[in-house]
Structure 1
Amino acid sequence: MKRSDFIKSGAALLSSSVLLNNDLMAENKEVTKGATFKLDYAPHQGMFSATAGKKFVDEIQYMHDLGFRSIEDNGLPERSIEEQKSIGETLARLGMRMGVFVVPKGGNGANTLAAGKKDFVDIFLKGCRESVETAKRVNAKWATVVPGDYQRNLPIGVQTANVVEALKRGAEIFEPHGITMVLEPLSDTPDLFLRYTDQTYEICKAVGSPSCKILYDAYHQQKNEGNLINLMDLCWSEIAYIQVGDNPGRREPTTGEINYKNVFKWLKEKGYSGIVGMEHGMSKSGVEGEKLLVAAYREVDNF
């Protein structure tokens, strides 16, 4: 073969190879865009509204297209029954899961369970019964409970006993339906009774029900106590649900100080197959912010 012919054929082969590689790269980008994640991350309404629009069911469809397989909706009980059913039907059609929603009228600063008052407990139990009906419409398996504030005129042991007794009664409502109330220790104010992982672990052990477990929010616990992986490991038997947000700022992973790639790798190695709720804001708004959000989760899921 003449040198000139060899060069021409080589150039043609190289050109074909480059085109093929470009096609494969483009194809891989499309697959990656909609591929599922190693863990089951759950966005909430508004995270993709710039692209998908304001209608929640359309946004759920778009979340599915991006590779997400669950959602969260704290305010689900406040939606109309018709909208709840529509959300449930959409999730069922797409094979997606509903994450947590917040039990309405549960313990808060106005009716803390730590006080042990019958009126406060009755309000909480009414919210539990309403939550069962809400959960049925969307096939939900978890509902968030926050016991409320300290009742500072009572000894801490008495307050803890009051919380345990109220939660036992709540668990009795949820247990026949296979629903778990997940207790969330928070960092929002020092007035909150429930703040630490080991404290919540102790309460769940005292309640002694599969329907009373821990919602471990890494954002709040990074602020309250740190030592995330070790404390999760110590309390693992009672943890049923995970939420995340980076600190400081409570935005998507990669924007703060938490090494979420290591945290998520540990969760995967631990065998966690539950939901990881995206309980945070976004560092940027609009379509650009949505792209950054997905890129951040692709990054920390790449372990």
Structure 2
Amino acid sequence: MPRFAANISMLFSELNFYDRFEAAAKAGFAGVEFPFPYDFDRQELRRRLDANGLALVLHNLPPGRWGDGERGLACLPDRKAEFRESVALALDHATLLGCSQVNCLSGIPPKGADPKLIRDTLLDNLRFAADEAGRAGIRLLVEAINTIDMPGFYLNRSRQAIEIIEEVGSDNLYFQYDIYHMQVMEGDLARSIESQLARIAHLQLADNPGRHEPGTGEINYPFLFGHIDRIGYRGWIGAEYRPLRGTVEGLGWLPDRS
């Protein structure tokens, strides 16, 4: 069975951020993930991970000006220098925190931008980031995000992400497959995950609608977990959802707690 990691930016949100590591470990998670480590004390993050026997399994590259609506720098033609600086910052954090993979948010293209320029920018930036991450022994990931939760995001379907990965041509670029986002955009989850398994380095989950815990919506997670195990996926699955029933009360879906 794959290992499960708690996204502590969404789970245990009632607690101080640093206290969420202990809560995640007590709840039965072997790892944690969170979007951005950059506003926290890196040494304290490392201490909390070690004290609770947790792996940090994923964090993102810096997203740009999040408060202004930016959702990644990778496809922005006039921000390539800033993107390269963000890669160095992300890899520095990942190395210190023992995080073996980082996710690159492709971003939201400016309105009216030349589609070819946007695509070429993304390809160039991903090649650079994949090479830099590879030298650090860290995997680079990209993800597709649904157009309802994040309108305008450049990558929004699994096939589109896989095509970008193939065009980049790096052996250090992988797909972060978010079950919730792909259920919204395309469904057919079991076949999609199986057909793209060789490119998938990380899975994330939430149910739909509502982005709550498994068992609150339309996705048959007991079947899907069994399927993911049968086809040989051995990576992490990040629990990235908004608890509906309370964080601990809603953990009945977690295999070791069921």
State whether TM-score is above 0.5.
yes
The equivalent of 1:60 in structure 2 is 21
User: What are the within-5 Å matches in structure 2 for residues 48-197 of structure 1?
Assistant: 48=12, 53-54=15-16, 56=18, 58-80=19-41, 84-105=42-63, 110=70, 113-115=74-76, 117=77, 119-151=78-110, 153=112, 156-187=115-146, 188-197=149-158
Deviations 1:183-204 (A, max 9, x none): 1110123411111101111111
What RMSD over aligned residues (CA atoms) do the two structures have, in Å? 2.5
Partner in structure 2 of residue 15 of structure 1: none
2:162 to 201, 215, 225: 201
In structure 2, the residue corresponding to 1:104 is in which secondary structure? coil
Quote the residue 1:40 is aligned against: 3
The superposition leaves residues 103-150 of structure 1 with CA deviations (integer Å, 9 ceiling, x where unpaired) of 1145986575435x2x41111111110011111221001112111124
- Supply the AA of the counterpart residue of 2:62: P
Which residue in the other structure is 2:213 paired with?
252
Distance (whole Å) between structure 1 residues aligned to residue 209 and residue 13 of structure 2: 25
For the Cα contact (< 8 Å) 2:180–2:208, is it kept in 1? yes
- Secondary structure of the equivalent of 2:204? strand
Cα distance in 2 for partners of 1:92, 1:205 equals 36
Distance in 2 (alpha carbons) for counterparts of 1:49 and 1:144: 22
Number of the residue aligned with 1:273: 234
Letter in 2 for 1:92: D
Structure 1 regions of 5+ residues with no counterpart? 1-37
Contact 1:145 1:184 in 2 (8 A): yes
Report if aligned partners of 2:74, 2:104 keep a CA contact under 8 Å in 1.
Answer: no
Cα distance in 2 for partners of 1:174, 1:228 equals: 29
Higher strand share goes to which structure? 2
Q: CA–CA distance in 2 between the matches of 1:59 and 1:189?
A: 26
Q: Provide the residue aligned with 1:294 in structure 2.
A: 251
Contact 2:11 2:240 in 1 (8 A): no
Deviation (angstroms), 1:208: 2.2
TM-score, normalised to structure 1's length? 0.75
Residue of structure 1 aligned with 2:175, choices 186, 190, 214: 214
Structure with bigger helix share is 1
Moved over 6 A (4+): none
- Structure 1 distance, partners of 2:99, 2:87, is 13
